[in-house]
Amino acid sequence: MGGKEAEASKSGGLFWRLLVSLIAALVIATVVLTILRDLHYFKKHRAPTHPINKKYADALQIALQFFDVQKSGKLVDNRISWRGDSGLEDGSEANLDLSKGMYDAGDSMKFGFPMAFTATILSWAILEYGDQMNAVKQLEYAHNSLRWITDFLLNAHPSENVLYIQVGDPEIDHKCWERPETMSEKRPLIQVNTTFPGTEVAAETAAAMASASLVFKQIDPAYSNSLLMHARQLFAFADTFRGCYSISIPQVQNFYNSSGYGDELLWAASWLFHATKDESYLNYVTQQNGKIFGNWDSPTWFSWDDKLAGTQVLLSRLMFFGSIEMSTVENLYLQMYRETAEILMCTLLPDSPTATSERTPGGLIWVTEWNPLQHPVASAFLAILYSDYMLTSRTETLYCSGNSYKPDDLRNFAISQADYVLGTNPMKLSYLVGYGSSYPQHVHHRGSSIPVDADTGCKDGFKWLYSKNPNPNVAVGALVGGPSFNESYSDERSNVKQSEPSTYNTALIVALLSGLLTTSSVVQSYT
């Protein structure tokens, strides 16, 4: 071979070797990027390392379906065969699309205050226990239900200082007994604004959007950014134009009357700090507003109306996991939130020296005869969270007046409340409709109680309210109000205190069940 030919051959060989090396490098880079991406995914949605509890997995699968029962609007892939499109013109009087969202309870009202709380709790459950939801194939359903609410909330906030908080007239609605698919009555709107402020409902909506922005951050960044923008605006509106919405709009007092707005301001600021890491929100809860509204050392019951206990547990995360630099003052006041959360935990533990006596003989936390299951389920959710915070941070002991308790003690309390709901009670009745062999058959719920093919209007549908027959449509996943203090339950539609379900009850039981699926720790950071 001549010199030129040999040189050409050598050059050609070098070219192919370089090409092969480049291809190999690209393949390796692709593999590495895939691994890194998957590591990020599994960091956020890691597979549980302990066996799944089938009882709670089955109950969760049932509970999540109630959100589909409650959906308004043009239904897409809805799992409830007896539900159809409804509320399609909601919001039209203000040129808004408020057709989505969820009906509050057994009626056809959309109340923004409890609906936003429902979204916040569902977001919190996903952020803490999304991996466990994913393991039992329920995470996508939770995402879809959350987005159905946040789509409504976004549309209900058309400008910085205006928020629509109610669709429908409860006085008119409650004079009718009809399926939402056939309702023809007027659906007026109520808004809060600078003239008629509503700090608690605006702040709760900000909390819902901030927490949901974290849920959708990786799934849909643009949607997440939109939620966060609205959350910031709503919090500024709530804080700048302070006023109780029950005073601004007296007609709401008969349904979701607010006991005050300080708790919602702290709750919203706490969620905004988690979503943004903007220290101004941390300053908000640890400076003057914390002193005014924090109610430190005096725990209260967590509910749609009182967010303080939830705020205390949420802010305790920062103390447990210590992922941010804090000033001495911030650290001091965060410690006060955590100490108040611990007082609540000691109140819940049945063997604690400071245990509450507000319990039924069967051990259910008891606070009120109206919707009695809300508080024990909410308390159990906070207990399982705190237990997992302790477990994840390797905090071995909780002290209650000198007595020491372990994370398992809090878990066992949470299990006792969940099991009571699912049938371990004197009535041997599951209060989660569709779960077990014995559950309420006469749920106070219009759509569930009226046959799909019934031709009824507003008034003549009441025969279904007073019918002795079981509901023809099962309100799958409904968590009814619950038993009386003496642990009896009257399965009658007219027994509103005990037999009416609600979406916020469902959000709380979904959150609790998600935490009980397996004995694993929580994610240390939401971001």
User: How far out from the chain centre does Cα 297 lie?
Assistant: 26
Q: How far apart are alpha carbons 116 and 205 in whole angstroms?
A: 5
Give the Å distances, CA to CA, from 222 to 97, 147, 225, 383, 450.
20, 13, 5, 34, 41
In degrees and rounded to multiples of 5, residue 412 shows phi and psi of: -65, -35
Give the Å distances, CA to CA, from 475 to 62, 73, 135, 171, 444.
10, 18, 25, 24, 10
DSSP string for residues in 143-190: HHHHHHHHHHHHHT--BTTBEEEEES-HHHHTT----GGG--S---EE
**Burial of residue 459, with CB atoms counted within 10 A of its CB: 0-12 exposed, 13-18 middle, 19 or more buried:** exposed
Q: Which residue has the tokens 């990020």?
A: 40
- Helix-helix angle 308-321:328-348, to 10 degrees: 120
**Burial of residue 36, with CB atoms counted within 10 A of its CB: 0-12 exposed, 13-18 middle, 19 or more buried:** exposed
> Which token pair is 506?
């469902």
Do the Cβ atoms of 93 and 188 come closer than 8 Å?
yes
Question: C-alpha angle with apex 352: 351 to 357, nearest 5 degrees?
Answer: 80
**Burial of residue 353, with CB atoms counted within 10 A of its CB: 0-12 exposed, 13-18 middle, 19 or more buried:** exposed
Do the Cβ atoms of 311 and 263 come closer than 8 Å?
yes
The catalytic residues are 444
Do the Cβ atoms of 509 and 63 come closer than 8 Å?
yes
Torsion-angle region of 400 (φ positive above 0: left; ψ -120 to 50: alpha; else: beta): beta
> Which token pair is 272?
């905004």
